[in-house]
Amino acid sequence: MKNFDFSVPTKVLFGEGKLNELKDYLGNMGKKGLLVTGKSSMRKTGVLDRVIKLGKESGVEIIVNEGVEPNPTSDYINHMSKLVRKEGCDFLIGLGGGSPMDAAKAISLLAINDGVIEDYLPGGKYEDMANVLGALPIVAITTTAGTGSEVTMFSVITNKKTKEKPGIGHQCLFPVLSIIDPELMVSVPKHITLSTGVDVLFHALEAYICTVATPLTDMYALEAIKLVLENLGDVLEDGSNLEKRSKVAWANTLAGMAIVQASTVGIHGMGHPIGGHTNSPHGMTMAALGKAFLDKTYDGDIDRYSNITKILGYDCEGLSKKECAAKSGEALQRVLDRFGAHVTISDLGVKEDMIETLAKDAFKTMGGCMAVSLKELDVEDAISIYKSSL
């Protein structure tokens, strides 16, 4: 059996009503924290006020900034890191979806390290993260079931100047505390439930078809796929169904733990550049590329891809294993169509003359994901996958 290491050093509070337990932990984080969130949803739903109140009850001061945009930018991170230093904050809270959680992580990194966030992105002077001193403690309160950021060591930041959208990763970016309370997700509108739910599916799928999968990540990934297939459709029909929301939230947590120990592959690797150049909803960039990616790579591991075809519900009766593996892209597309996630990269704003840049960006900024795909890929392969997805 394959050897592997495993560690998710985050205290996870999972379940309905778990937000209330925040007050039991905040006091241990320090005296003053910066909470970052998006422009309106957390205020409108009353969740922001609840968190501020819980802060007061635990005797900590919480400074609030509601300026996180979807796909957070380097400019925002650099600006907020100055504020954190000036205010002498002891910890960060990211409240919302992946964007506020990732922003909190990146700000916490800059709070005690030199430079601007671009220095830590690919091509920057600290890109190897070798001399990182640590980060301020991060509390992640997720309100979407999508990115898994609440249990990962990754932060995804869009470089405003280059339009690149790389992920950075470091052990110090694991949140110390994560709250996954499905009650906070009931207000997520249908189109965001879809794009985030699709992201969960891709995290799990990609963790299963990467070279660094382990028995443990396979277990997480396969359970997460099953939970999404069984529950996401019902949540899309009725967003107030808390039991089903909980199951998709659990799939999200499992898939996040799977990618942190294994990895995503070229689907995320090629999806990020689309997000960087078009600001598209993250999950839909994967939906647009998934079939073409599987069609291109299925012969990299016939066993794993044929398993995926069957798990996605395709009947392989009468087919050889190789024929079954070759159907993985079609099986995935059927699932996406059933959820209403039929999308092309043209729909997301990609034009044919952007493709070469996107393909090069994928290898420059997401090279780690490109490298662990089960079939070796080069820039020409990426170009052909993008072209098939137009």
List 177, 185, 198, 258, residue binding ligand NAD (CB under 6 A): 185
Q: How far is the CB of 2 from ligand NAD (least distance, A)?
A: 23
Name which of 12, 9, 93 is nearest 261 in CA terms: 9
What tokens were used for 184?
């906070």
Which range binds ligand NAD by CB under 6 A, 141-149, 224-232, 234-242, 289-297? 141-149
Which residue from 73, 74, 108, 143 is in contact with ligand NAD, where contact means CB under 6 A? 143
Hey, what are 31's tokens? Answer: 């005296």
Q: Which of 73, 81, 144, 252 binds ligand NAD (CB under 6 A)?
A: 144
Residue placing its CB nearer to ligand NAD in the complex, 149 or 278: 149
Scanning residues 348 to 377, which ones bind ligand NAD (CB under 6 A)? none
Calpha distance 237→90 (Å, rounded):
42
Residue 140 or 227 with smaller CB distance to ligand NAD: 140
For residue 177, give both structure tokens: 């505390």
Choose, by CB under 6 A, the member of 54, 111, 138, 188 that binds ligand NAD: 188
Q: Which is nearer to ligand NAD, 159 or 196 (CB)?
A: 196
How many chain residues bind ligand NAD (CB under 6 A)?
Answer: 29
**Can you tell me the distance from the alpha carbon of 112 to that of 126, in angstroms, rounded to the nearest whole number?**
14
The residues in 264-323 that bind ligand NAD, with binding defined as CB under 6 A, are 275, 282
Which of 184, 257, 286, 292 is close enough to bind ligand NAD by CB under 6 A?
A: 184
Q: How many residues in the chain?
A: 390
Exactly one of 64, 141, 192, 382 binds ligand NAD (CB under 6 A); which one? 192
**CA distance linking residue 387 with residue 390, whole number of Å:** 5
Site residues for ligand NAD, window 59-78 (CB under 6 A)?
70-71
Which part of the chain contacts ligand NAD (CB under 6 A), choosing from 118-126, 143-151, 218-226, 320-328?
143-151
Residues 80-99, interacting with ligand NAD (CB under 6 A) = 96-99
d(CA 369, CA 210): 9
Q: Per residue in 188-221, is it b (16+ CB within 10 Å) or e — as a string?
A: beeebbbbbbbbbbbbbbbbbbbeebbebbbebb
Q: Does 152 bind ligand NAD (CB under 6 A)?
A: yes
Q: Which of 149, 162, 217, 309 binds ligand NAD (CB under 6 A)?
A: 149
Q: b or e along 295-332 (b: 16 or more beta carbons within 10 Å of the residue's beta carbon)?
A: bbbbebbbebbbbbbebbebebeeeeeeebbbbbbebb
Radius of gyration of the CA atoms of the chain, in A: 20
Which of 26, 36, 38, 76 forms a contact with ligand NAD (CB under 6 A)?
38
Determine if 45 is a binding residue for ligand NAD (CB under 6 A): yes
Which range, of 128-136, 179-187, 230-238, 347-355, touches ligand NAD by CB under 6 A? 179-187
Residue 343 contacts ligand NAD per CB under 6 A:
no
The contacts of residue 370 (CB under 8 Å, 6+ apart) are 265, 266, 269, 270, 362, 363, 377, 382
Q: What is the DSSP string of 206-270?
A: HHHTBTT--HHHHHHHHHHHHHHHHHHHHHHH-TT-HHHHHHHHHHHHHHHHHHHHS---HHHHH
The answer to whether 260 and 179 are in contact (CB under 8 A) is no
What is the rounded CA–CA span in Å between residue 231 and residue 243?
A: 9
For ligand NAD, give the closer residue by CB, 203 or 304: 203
Nearer to ligand NAD, 182 or 298 (CB): 182
Residues of this chain that interact with ligand NAD (CB under 6 A) are 38, 41, 45, 70-71, 96-99, 102, 143-144, 146-149, 152, 154-156, 184-185, 187-188, 192, 196, 199, 275, 282
